Amino acid sequence: MRGLRRNIRSGPRNPNSAPVAFSPASLSGLVLWLRADLGITLNGGNVSAWADQSGAGNTFNQPTASKQPVFNAVDANLNNQPSIGPFSEANLHSLIWAGSSGTAPPYSIFIVTYNVTDAVAKYTWATSGANQSDFYINNALHFISGSVDLGTAVGLGFSGKYVMGGDSPITSGTVAVYHNAITAKVTAAVGTDPPDLFNFGQRRIGRYSETPANFAWPGTIAEIVAVNHIATLAERTQIMNYIGTRYAITIGA
């Protein structure tokens, strides 16, 4: 049925959900919390909107039915938790930020995903145009923060389930990228033009831009968490351990 709104929530509907004491809702400065069992609006079996649970109003939507990604009530690749995707290249699947005011740096962001390949350029989180803040895979995990394109070593293997994280400072500090670990995989000095977390009409989940052959994410996405500062070690530890428990991802030090 078209236009059906359904808020899918965790609990009795998913017997595989493990109870965890920590919730992202308790984080100071939380500006984005998307989870695939909360705030989902369905158009048939596809996602037309993903409501932000942070209280900051940073919802993502896709008004064009043919471009709406599929909803998975149970994703066996992510500990049987719900997810969204894969994002079809041919159908231009993506979700677009529908907020009204951007979040300037600094910030930290974490994305839970399952990926099927690491050999080609594919984006989970992207801003087409100037002042970019992107996550993409191209034989390595890359996090773009303005003029800095920070990539891990090639050959680490980024297919399978994992959490990708990034720190984007403003005028000082270090850009950092995280992969299934509390400690950064690689860091670099902050560059020029540090980007906003959100850019109206450009910020997308699941692909780079609204044109064909623009790097749609071939896997699924289950959760995104962002705070309006560089996450402290204690906060990052809480976030990573929460994700590890919920999605059965082994988190390293």
Let me know: does 19 contact 55? Beta carbons within 8 Å.
Answer: no
Percent of the chain with pLDDT over 90: 55
Tokens 């041919």, located at residue = 90
Sign of CA dihedral 109, 179, 149, 114: negative
More confident call, 64 vs 1: 64
Domains (range + CATH), the chain: 29-247 (2.60.120.200)
3-state secondary structure of 243: helix
Let me know: does 108 contact 149? Beta carbons within 8 Å.
Answer: no
3-state secondary structure of 55: coil
Cα-based distances in Å from 167 to 86, 138, 164: 26, 19, 11
**Predicted pLDDT at 1:** 42
Predicted confidence (pLDDT) per residue in 171-193, tens digit: 778 999 999 999 999 999 887 77
Residues contacting residue 175 through CB under 8 Å, at least 6 positions apart = 143, 145, 148, 150, 166, 167, 168, 169, 187, 188, 189, 190, 191
First to last CA, the chain: 46
195: preceding bond cis by omega (within 30 degrees): no
Strands (E), the chain: 30-35, 40-43, 46-50, 60-61, 71-75, 81-84, 95-97, 107-115, 122-127, 133-137, 141-145, 148-151, 160-168, 174-179, 186-189, 203-205, 220-227
Whether the model clears a pTM of 0.75, i.e. scores above it, the answer is yes
Predicted confidence (pLDDT) per residue in 107-127, tens digit: 999 999 999 877 678 889 887
